[in-house]
């Protein structure tokens, strides 16, 4: 069975994380993705550590299932070539600063005049209009601006950044959704469209109940650490050997939890009768629960809780996660063959696609800079002599053939 997006051709003009993550997801789903990197050094994240045999791990994390070419965007011939590629693709994805594509002559209006079916997809930091439209898009800045950091951390720590670049990643996923919607609409109308999102918009869309609390009742949520903002008890609790997550979200679960811990008296304690009562007295409740939980370890409590219908689980470090039998059983890590590194393990597409085996979604390792320049341009009809001329003039970059990795 072919992958869902097989037959779609994507020109990837993005760099850093939000755009590359978006186009990698399209590639995982079967699209042919052509990643265009600027000469002389390629995507800026190739310079960001840590490094595996001089290759950026940051770059590796967001660029599989792509063919990579190197082009000098500042040379007229290079820009003309990018335009030719764009007009030969179904989708163009970019995350330049607002207005850059137009200044290069690659804006949606200009390209769609020649290619009405073209879908252009853009990610910016703060949107294409408004007073912050010209601000560069960096994840930490967007996390703070969107209010996301104000919800994360503890009263003692103050606002805290989420442990991954959640604004970049969320924007990338929202853009994929927008692209897929545009593809469906194009199938009906024959016309493409310009799809846009931003780090700011992506993060605000994830505010969920916290945003609704402010919009509906005027509450400004404060950071509450590892506890739920509106349910108690719900969060992280200490056991004999470390923290355990518990999520008894209903009244029935609360009652069962009291029984499991031998704390039946708490179920009838006036301080803890309802969720509202427990929220008001959550600190006293935490002390009562942890006194009982410290009698056993995390992995003693976890199966006991789950058997009794209480959602529970340990807080793993990443070495725990990748060794976990559930993670392995679900095939969440895929292996690719990289021309320089040999076997490359990556977290794969987190979707089961009917009869498609998981390994079918991880087909190409992230390209070395300029790995597929000749191959891609030949597929767009450029003659060998023209490619040679552009390479000789340093308009293009083609990687040397690497020694076969062991």
Each residue of 234-249: pLDDT tens digit? 999 999 999 999 999 9
Domains of the chain, earliest start first: 9-206+362-397 (3.40.50.10540), 235-319 (3.30.1540.10)
Q: Which residues contact residue 204 at a Cβ distance below 8 angstroms, ignoring those fewer than 6 apart?
A: 146, 147, 211
- What pLDDT shows up at residue 404? 59
Q: Is the pLDDT of residue 402 over 80?
A: no
Checking DSSP bridges between strand 67-71 and strand 91-94, what pairing results, if any? Answer: unpaired
Mean pLDDT of 171-189: 98
Query: Percentage of the chain surpassing pLDDT 70?
Result: 99
Q: Is 388 a catalytic residue?
A: no
Catalytic pick among 12, 168, 277, 320: 168
Asked if residue 357 has pLDDT above 90, the reply is: no
Distances (CA, A) of 85 to 44, 88, 89, 98, 356: 22, 5, 6, 21, 30
Distance CA 299, CA 305 (A): 10
Predicted confidence (pLDDT) at residue 406 exceeds the cutoff of 60 = no
Q: Tell me: cis bond preceding 233? Omega within 30 of 0 counts.
A: yes
């Amino acid at each position: 069975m072919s992958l869902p997006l097989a037959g779609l051709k994507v020109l990837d003009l993005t760099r850093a994380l939000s755009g590359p993550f978006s186009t990698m997801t399209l590639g995982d789903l079967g699209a042919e993705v052509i990643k265009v990197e600027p000469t002389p050094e390629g995507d800026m994240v190739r310079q960001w550590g840590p490094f595996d045999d001089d290759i950026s791990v940051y770059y590796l994390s967001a660029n599989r299932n792509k063919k990579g070419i190197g082009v000098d965007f500042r040379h007229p011939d290079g820009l003309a070539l990018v335009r030719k590629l764009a007009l030969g693709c179904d989708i163009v994805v970019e995350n330049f600063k607002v207005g850059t594509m137009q200044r290069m002559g690659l804006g949606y209006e200009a390209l769609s005049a020649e290619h009405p079916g073209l879908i252009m997809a853009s990610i910016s930091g703060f949107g294409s209009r408004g007073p912050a439209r010209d601000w560069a898009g960096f994840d930490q800045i967007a996390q703070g601006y969107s209010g996301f950091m104000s919800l994360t951390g503890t009263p003692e720590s103050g606002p805290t950044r989420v442990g991954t670049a959640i604004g970049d990643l969320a924007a990338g996923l929202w853009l994929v959704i927008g692209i897929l919607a545009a593809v469906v609409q194009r199938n009906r109308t024959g016309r493409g469209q310009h799809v846009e999102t931003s780090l700011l918009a992506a993060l605000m869309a994830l505010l969920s109940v916290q945003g609704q609390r402010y919009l509906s009742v005027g509450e400004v949520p404060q950071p509450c650490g590892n506890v739920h903002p509106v349910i108690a008890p719900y969060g992280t609790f200490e056991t004999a050997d470390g923290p355990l997550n518990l999520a008894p979200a209903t009244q029935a679960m609360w009652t069962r939890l009291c029984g499991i811990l031998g704390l039946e008296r708490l179920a009838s304690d006036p301080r803890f009768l309802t969720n509202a009562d427990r929220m008001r007295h959550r600190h006293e409740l935490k002390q009562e629960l942890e006194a009982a939980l410290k009698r056993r370890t995390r992995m003693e409590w976890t199966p006991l809780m789950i058997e009794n219908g209480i959602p529970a689980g340990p807080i793993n470090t990443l070495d725990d996660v990748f060794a976990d039998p559930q993670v392995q059983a679900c095939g969440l890590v895929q292996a690719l063959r990289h021309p320089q590194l040999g076997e490359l393990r990556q977290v794969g597409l987190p979707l089961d696609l009917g009869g498609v085996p998981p390994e079918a979604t991880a087909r190409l390792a992230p390209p070395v800079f300029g790995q597929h320049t000749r191959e891609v341009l030949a597929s767009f009809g450029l003659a060998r002599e023209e490619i040679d001329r552009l390479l000789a003039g340093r308009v293009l970059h083609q990687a040397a053939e690497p020694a076969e990795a062991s």
